[in-house]
Amino acid sequence: LMQDTHVTRQALNEIEDRHHELLRLEKSISELHELFLLLAMEVESQGEMVDNIESNICNSVNYVDKAKQNTGAAVVSQRKARKEVWRVGGLGGEHTHPTPGGVEW
């Protein structure tokens, strides 16, 4: 009877140890699940940020292209205006003339 009690007690201790190990494992799995959920939210958040950055880059490229076009048009308009000033002033046509500040038109 004593030996049966000892064997039973030993089996109970092993079962309790396994139960505690399973509880620790369950807790670890729950924590891991939480981390995956947080990671998924972070990836989604960063994905939106990356999409916004990509959109801003595309917009910037478009703005730069438009600015280059506008700058080219402004240069052409400025040349025409200078020629008109020279023409109206009776100074003639296509030649460049130094200005008092040293900048040529």
CA–CA separation, 50 vs 66, rounded Å?
Answer: 24
State pTM to two decimals: 0.45
- Whether 101 maps to a domain, the answer reads no
CB 105 within 8 A of CB 99: yes
CA–CA separation, 104 vs 97, rounded Å?
Answer: 6
- Whether 48 maps to a domain, the answer reads yes
Residue 98: phi, psi to the nearest 5? -70, 145
- Whether 9 maps to a domain, the answer reads yes
What is the extent of the structural domain holding 36? 1-93
pLDDT digits 0-9 by tens, 16-71 = 999 999 999 999 999 999 999 999 999 888 888 889 999 999 999 999 999 999 99
DSSP state of 1: -
Number of domains in the chain: 1
- Whether 105 maps to a domain, the answer reads no
pLDDT digits 0-9 by tens, 72-103 = 999 999 999 998 888 887 665 455 555 555 55
